[in-house]
Structure 1
Amino acid sequence: MDIEWGSLGGVLGVSLGITVVVVVMFSLGIAAWSRAEAYGERSGATRRGVLHRGSGTVAAAIAMVCFAACLAVAAYGIDLIIPD
């Protein structure tokens, strides 16, 4: 039995990179979701003299995009694991 260390290192690098990307995307989604809730609680309120009417909607949209990206990566990984 022979191990191709270069291929093993490549798989390790890609796996580590994708893991970091998914964790960061999920964290950004959680942060955006909490920001959307905070804007929803004080709808119409001003912050530092600037009116943020659509910011809650934008933050919620960013959160959904982040969560969708995490879901897509997980679905692709499951598709790779499960044989056809």
Structure 2
Amino acid sequence: MALNEYGEGENRDHTGHQVGLAHFAFITNNIDAMIARLEKAGFSISNPGAKNTHRRNVYFTDPDGFEVEFVQYLSDAPSERNLTEG
């Protein structure tokens, strides 16, 4: 993945459903430690993520306006990892 610097224009509005990069994600084995490190570095949670039995996730916005998701999977079953719970 390559993100270019010095581009022109604005990122898409993350509150809507416009075409473009919504976010990118990283898997972590300890989401609480990840949150603590990012908050210590001065970042704030932009979206606490959805409640889900099989994963925990949280979103931060980087200085360039990109939304970054961090995910900790609580299940090893691929069929459960990305289920949406109502």
TM-score bracket, normalised by the shorter chain, equals under 0.3
Q: Which has the larger radius of gyration?
A: 1
Higher share of residues assigned helix: 1
Where relative contact order (Cα < 8 A, 6+ residues apart) is larger, the structure is 1
TM-score normalized with structure 1 length: 0.21
